[in-house]
Chains A and B, each alone.
Chain A
Amino acid sequence: MNKKLWINVVMAILVAGLFLTVSCAKKTVVSDASTIEDQAQAEAQAAAEAEAQRKAEAERIRQQELEAQAAGEKAVEQARQQAAKTRFLHQNIHFAFDSAELSSEAKELVKEKAQWLKQNQKVSVTIEGHCDERGTTEYNLALGERRANAVQNYLQDLGIGGFRLDTVSYGEERPLDPGQTEAAYAKNRRAQFVLK
């Protein structure tokens, strides 16, 4: 009999305890709801941040693209300048046999040289006069000098300062093409620019 009572008491306590526990649990649930609210806020914040970051990244990429474009343009410009320089140094001015006279084509080319020299004010050049191998060494030295001088004089007429222009004749000593054909001779009869 006593034992049954004891059990009931214990049960009662347990139930009461259960109730308590339940109320406690209820409390916990309330507190959970507030956390969810915080999380949503955080999520929104994160999303905003991500958005900002994305925007920044896009901006960065845009900047980068702009820079790349600028760099590209610069490279193109540099390449253009290099090409102009190469052309200046390797497009030679050609002459007829036993002549130091500038043809109209030669004059056009010298004008182009003058343009380049105006764009590159710091540059000084040596104008070399050359001949083909036919004829006499001495006469060709003289002829080469007259070719170089003809180019120098025309450049000065076009407004290039004489102090930037030097001349030297190599006569027939430095052919570009050692061949003994008319094409080789024509190539070798030239005034050529060399940077100082």
Chain B
Amino acid sequence: MFLHYVNTKLLKNIHKSRSSAGYPLSPCVAAFRDRMSVPPLPRSWHILLVLATVFFLWHPAQGWAKSYDTINISNPFLHKTPVAVTEFKALTGKDAETEIGTTALTILNEGLEFTGYLKLVNPRAFLSSPAQTGIQLGQIHFRDWTGIGAELLITGGVEIDGDQVQLKLRLFDTFNTKLLKGKIYTGPPGQVRRMIHLFCAEVSYALTGTWGVFNSKLSFISTVNGNKEVFVSDFDGHNPKQVTHHKSISLSPAWSSDGQWLAYVSYAGGKPDIYIKHLAENRGAIVNREGMNISPAWMPGQAKLAAAMSFSGNQQIYLLTRNGEIITKITDSWGINVSPVFSPDGKKIAFVSNRSGTPQIYITDLNTQEVRRVTFQGNYNTSPAWSPDGNKMAYVGIEKNQIDIYMINLASGPGMPVQLTRDQKDNEDPSWSPDGNLIVFTSNREGNSSALYVMTAAGTDQRRLLHMKGRQTQPGWSGPMTIED
């Protein structure tokens, strides 16, 4: 009885906390969660809970509110929602349909990983096969899916008609036996990836109210014949394309919020200068004042940038127009001031300064010009990355010669930073996904070569993003770009 009580209570808290943590559930999903009585937890959880119960009985004085805190239920990345994704049905029975279905399934499975909060149910556990029995609402045996703990089910169908491929995709709520989203996409076979990602965005929207990462891109630096050049790829590292051909050192690419512009640093002129470039059209500007011109960052929703420049003698942060003209000086202190990054509302700038003797992260309010220090632990804290909800700051810290990514909560005042990477060599350059669920970063954990990795905002599910020649560094996740249907 007690066990069941804990179970239900825990689940309710998971769901409550998930919505309160900034993931608003769609009405039907929320409704289904509230009415849910059978806890869809895997067997291992029951064992854990029995152990936990025994623990509470042995230590009644501890009170279980405290122990409850140690199970971090407010974290959707540690308690992912199980989703079953079935094989695609070849709707007219053609071999080519089966083939495309297999490709589409792989893309779909990989895509869902980029939500950060969905967990794929192992297909070997499946009790039925909608690819054979049917993929529509009336043809699904929902008990087959609730029985194996799948809270969500995605079915797919492929139909080839001439040179066009039609994908029929459905997202079901298994406990509530409801169709949450159904979409049909038609296009040439080369667009299957795009179609699947559009559906992934629909899944994300149906579950959380945000479109997720599926309409975003990455910028990064990769070495080409020993020279660092700027690259752009899809959110998952697919389709990397070289943007610069300076055959020099190019660094620090930064997306404008509409994804149309990149600003970056290059030594093409013999010293570090800022290049502001429209990605599709041949226009832009170069900021090459005396000294160095580095670390550009775009103001959200504006044709303005912050950057560090040293023409005055000290490295100070300035606000610039997109043409490189100075609007205002933002910092005015001795020493180094670099790496500006705007708050999502554009009203504040976080930056790195060594005004106190060591590099630390500060935040300045653009209106009041009030400056406050954010990091206090350790002697080296740099690379601030502001979470899209404005509440958290990821950054790089060096502790005992270990370079790792940390996160600090800004809303609750100076508190203990959370360490997101640990014992995996050097980890640097954090950048948030536009939905705030993931962080892309650089690590040299495999071999001695830097490559791009991604993890959830809780530091879980760390995995490599792309495999390409050379060394990859300084990833930057773009904001959401317009989805074209």
| Of the residues B228, B270, B292, B359, contact of A173 by C-beta under 8 Å | B228
- A142 near B249 with CB under 8 A, answer no
* C-alpha gap A145/B295 in the complex (Å): 14
Q: With A141-B292, A146-B336 as given contacts, are A135 and B380 in contact (CB-CB < 8 Å)?
A: yes
Q: With A138-B295, A139-B352 as given contacts, are A98 and B358 in contact (CB-CB < 8 Å)?
A: yes
* C-alpha gap A173/B383 in the complex (Å): 17
Q: Which residues of chain A have C-beta atoms less than 8 A from B426's C-beta?
A: 134
Q: Which residues of chain A have C-beta atoms less than 8 A from B270's C-beta?
A: 168
Task: Fill in one digit per residue for A122-156: 1 if any B CB lies within 8 Å of its CB, else 0.
Answer: 00000000000011111101110110000000000
- A168 near B336 with CB under 8 A, answer no
Measured between C-beta atoms, what is the minimum distance from B70 to chain A in Å?
33
Task: Fill in one digit per residue for B241-256: 1 if any A CB lies within 8 Å of its CB, else 0.
Answer: 0000000010110000
| Of the residues A98, A135, A139, A145, contact of B292 by C-beta under 8 Å | A145
- B383 near A142 with CB under 8 A, answer no
Confirm or deny: B473 has a beta carbon within 8 angstroms of a beta carbon on chain A.
yes
| Of the residues B249, B308, B359, contact of A98 by C-beta under 8 Å | B359
Confirm or deny: A192 has a beta carbon within 8 angstroms of a beta carbon on chain B.
no
| Of the residues B272, B291, B339, B379, contact of A136 by C-beta under 8 Å | B339
- A137 near B308 with CB under 8 A, answer no
Q: Which residues of chain A have C-beta atoms less than 8 A from B338's C-beta?
A: 138-139, 141-142
Confirm or deny: A169 has a beta carbon within 8 angstroms of a beta carbon on chain B.
yes
Measured between C-beta atoms, what is the minimum distance from B371 to chain A in Å?
18
* C-alpha gap A170/B338 in the complex (Å): 15
Confirm or deny: A180 has a beta carbon within 8 angstroms of a beta carbon on chain B.
yes
Confirm or deny: B355 has a beta carbon within 8 angstroms of a beta carbon on chain A.
no
Q: With A134-B403, A145-B310 as given contacts, are A139 and B339 in contact (CB-CB < 8 Å)?
A: yes
Q: Which residues of chain B have C-beta atoms less than 8 A from A134's C-beta?
A: 398, 401, 403, 426
Q: Which residues of chain A have C-beta atoms less than 8 A from B379's C-beta?
A: 98
A residues near B (Cβ < 8 Å) are: 98, 134-139, 141-143, 145-146, 168-170, 173, 180
Task: Fill in one digit per residue for B355-373: 1 if any A CB lies within 8 Å of its CB, else 0.
Answer: 0001100000000000000
Other 8 A-B pairs with CB < 8 A, given A98-B354, A136-B383, A145-B315? A98-B358, A98-B379, A136-B359, A137-B252, A138-B252, A141-B295, A145-B292, A170-B249
Measured between C-beta atoms, what is the minimum distance from A151 to chain B in Å?
15
24 contacts between A and B (CB under 8 A): A98-B379, A98-B380, A134-B398, A134-B403, A134-B426, A135-B359, A135-B380, A135-B403, A136-B339, A136-B352, A136-B383, A136-B429, A137-B252, A138-B295, A139-B338, A141-B294, A141-B295, A142-B294, A142-B310, A143-B336, A145-B315, A146-B336, A170-B249, A173-B249
Confirm or deny: B474 has a beta carbon within 8 angstroms of a beta carbon on chain A.
yes
Q: Tell me how many residues of B have a C-beta within 8 Å of chain A.
A: 36
| Of the residues A135, A142, A143, A169, contact of B398 by C-beta under 8 Å | A135
* C-alpha gap A170/B267 in the complex (Å): 9
- A136 near B292 with CB under 8 A, answer no
Q: Which residues of chain A have C-beta atoms less than 8 A from B358's C-beta?
A: 98
* C-alpha gap A146/B292 in the complex (Å): 11
Measured between C-beta atoms, what is the minimum distance from B13 to chain A in Å?
38
Task: Fill in one digit per residue for B203-237: 1 if any A CB lies within 8 Å of its CB, else 0.
Answer: 00000000000000000000000001000000000
| Of the residues A136, A141, A173, A180, contact of B428 by C-beta under 8 Å | A136
- B382 near A139 with CB under 8 A, answer yes
Confirm or deny: B448 has a beta carbon within 8 angstroms of a beta carbon on chain A.
yes
Measured between C-beta atoms, what is the minimum distance from A101 to chain B in Å?
12
Measured between C-beta atoms, what is the minimum distance from B126 to chain A in Å?
47
Measured between C-beta atoms, what is the minimum distance from A167 to chain B in Å?
8
Task: Fill in one digit per residue for B424-437: 1 if any A CB lies within 8 Å of its CB, else 0.
Answer: 00101100000000
Measured between C-beta atoms, what is the minimum distance from B359 to chain A in Å?
5
Q: Of all chain B residues, which has the CB nearest A136?
A: B382
Q: Which residues of chain B have C-beta atoms less than 8 A from A146's C-beta?
A: 336
- B448 near A142 with CB under 8 A, answer no
* C-alpha gap A146/B473 in the complex (Å): 24
* C-alpha gap A51/B429 in the complex (Å): 88
- A142 near B336 with CB under 8 A, answer yes
* C-alpha gap A131/B315 in the complex (Å): 17
- A169 near B292 with CB under 8 A, answer yes
Q: Of all chain B residues, which has the CB nearest A144?
A: B292
Measured between C-beta atoms, what is the minimum distance from A74 to chain B in Å?
37
Q: Which residues of chain B have C-beta atoms less than 8 A from A141's C-beta?
A: 251, 265, 272, 292, 294-295, 338
Measured between C-beta atoms, what is the minimum distance from A90 to chain B in Å?
22
Confirm or deny: B396 has a beta carbon within 8 angstroms of a beta carbon on chain A.
yes
Confirm or deny: B329 has a beta carbon within 8 angstroms of a beta carbon on chain A.
no
Q: Which residues of chain A have C-beta atoms less than 8 A from B347's C-beta?
A: none
* C-alpha gap A137/B428 in the complex (Å): 10
Measured between C-beta atoms, what is the minimum distance from B128 to chain A in Å?
52
- B473 near A145 with CB under 8 A, answer no
Q: Which residues of chain B have C-beta atoms less than 8 A from A169's C-beta?
A: 271-272, 292
Q: Which residues of chain A have C-beta atoms less than 8 A from B398's C-beta?
A: 134-135
* C-alpha gap A42/B354 in the complex (Å): 97
* C-alpha gap A47/B26 in the complex (Å): 126
* C-alpha gap A137/B442 in the complex (Å): 12
Q: In B276-301, which residues have CB < 8 Å from any A CB?
A: 291-292, 294-295
Q: Of all chain B residues, which has the CB nearest A143?
A: B336
Q: In B107-133, which residues have CB < 8 Å from any A CB?
A: none
* C-alpha gap A146/B379 in the complex (Å): 19
- B291 near A145 with CB under 8 A, answer yes
